Amino acid sequence: MKSVGIGIIGGGLMGREMASAFGRWCALTDVEVKPELVAVADVVEDVRNWFQRIPSCTQLTGDYKELLANPAVDVVYVAVPHNLHERIYIDVLEAGKDLFAEKPFGFDLSAAKNIAAAVKKTGRYTRCSSEFPFFPGAQRVVQAVKAAKFGRVLEVVSGFHHSSDLDATKPANWKRFSRTCGEIGVLGDLGMHACHLPLRFGWKPKSLFAQLQKGYPQRPDGKGGMADCDTWDNAVLHTWADIGGQEAPLRLEMKRLAPGETNTWFIEVLGTEGGVRYSTKHPKTLWVFEGGKEQYWKQTDLGFGTPFKAVTGGIFEPGFPDVIQQMWAAFLMEREGKLGDRFGCATVEEAVASQEIFAAALESQKTGTAVKLSL
C-alpha cells in the first residue's frame, strides 16, 4: 500500500482528530493508499507535545515554514483561524505540497479567489474539509437525488446547528471576533456544511435573502474581564435555485445558538412524488417520503454503509471519527485518481461558490433586500 506523508499545521481540536483517523487506517479494507503523519506545526508547545505519542511524527515545530521545507511531507492539512488561511494556504501550494484546507477556504470571498488562483497556478491537488456527507444517511440522500424520483422539487433545507454558544459564560475565542473569524462569522464557521451537498447537486442559488443574528455582545475574556464579540452567530438564507429546470426554494441554515442542538447536520428534499430527510441528530435513521393517493413517511434503520468499506460490521453505527476517516479516504483516493464513482471531498470551485453565497448574505443583511447571484 502506498504511503503518503502528511503534515498538519494547527494541531488543535481538528488536527488531533485527523491524526486519530490515520491511527485507525487499518480498519479500511478497500483503499490503496495510507496516510502517515510525519510533521506537525503549531505555535503552542503543549499542543505540539500531544503528537509525541505518534511514532511516525518525527517533526514538531512552532514554525510552519519548517514543516513546508520537510521533503517527507506530501500533503498538508491546515486548521487555523480564518484570517490565516490565505497566507498559509498559498505558502503550502507554493512549497509544492498538496493541500487539504479547512473551511471556509479564506477570510472572505477575495481571499478564497486568491487561494483558488494559487491552486490553478501551482497545479497542486486541493480539496476543502466537509465530513458530514460521508455519513451513510447522507450518502443515501445523494443516491436518491441521483435517482431523480422526487417529481418536481418543492423545497430543500440544508443546515448545521449547534448550541454550545448558548452558554454566556463560555470564554470568547477567535471565532467571536470579525478580525480573526471574518465578517461572515457563523457563515464561515458552519456554512460549508450547509452548502456542500446543494452545490454538489448543482443547486446553485440565483437569489438570496439573508436573516443574520448576533448573540451575546460580550463574553468573558478568560483573564477576569469581558471581551466585545461582533460576529454573526445565526444565519438563515432563503434562496431560489434552479432544480430540475424549475425554480425551488432552497433554505440554508447555520446556527451557533440553536437550543437543544449539540451538533446537528441535516438535509431534507421534498418533491411532488417523493422526498428524503436525514439528520445526524438521529444518525441511524433515514426518512423517505412516498406520494400517491395515500402518502407515507417510511423510516429506515441504517447500518455501517459508508462509501469505503471497513472491518466494522454492517449492523453497527458510524460516528464522527468514522466520517472523518471516510473523508480522508476520499481525499487520498481521488488524489491517486482512484475515487471511482464514490463521493468526493468539497472542491475548490464549491468552496469559492460558498464564499459567493456568504458575500451575498452580508449584502442582503445590510440592504434588507434579496440579492442576485451568478454562480
| pLDDT, tens digit (0-9, with 9 covering 90-100), for 193-241 | 999 999 999 999 999 999 999 999 999 999 999 999 999 999 999 999 9
- Residue 293 banded pLDDT, cuts 50, 70, 90: confident
Check residue 164 and give its pLDDT. 86
Cβ 154 vs Cβ 248: under 8 Å? yes
Q: What mean pLDDT is predicted for residues 336-354?
A: 97
Check residue 291 and give its pLDDT. 84
**Across the chain, what does the average pLDDT equal?**
96
Which of 341, 2, 354, 315 has the alpha carbon at shortest distance from 139?
Answer: 341
Check residue 149 and give its pLDDT. 85
Cell digits of residue 262: 449539540
Determine the Cα–Cα distance for residues 101 and 8; give it in Å rounded to an integer. Answer: 10
Amino acid at 71: P
Q: What mean pLDDT is predicted for residues 107-126?
A: 98
Q: What mean pLDDT is predicted for residues 62-66?
A: 98
Percent of the chain with pLDDT strictly greater than 70: 100
Comparing 292 with 41, the larger pLDDT belongs to 41
Cell digits of residue 319: 460516528
Task: Quickly list DSSP for 70-87.
Answer: -TT--EEEE---GGGHHH
Check residue 280 and give its pLDDT. 97
Check residue 153 and give its pLDDT. 96
Q: What mean pLDDT is predicted for residues 175-186?
A: 96
Within 8 A by CB and 6+ apart from 294, the residues are none
Q: What mean pLDDT is predicted for residues 250-259?
A: 97
Within 8 A by CB and 6+ apart from 165, the residues are 215, 216, 233, 256, 257
Check residue 188 and give its pLDDT. 97
Determine the Cα–Cα distance for residues 351 and 104; give it in Å rounded to an integer. Answer: 7
Tracing cell 438570496 back to the chain, one arrives at: 208
Count of CA atoms in the C-beta half-sphere (13 A) of 40: 29
Q: What are the tens digits of pLDDT across the range 270-281?
A: 999 999 999 999
pLDDT > 90? residue 142: yes
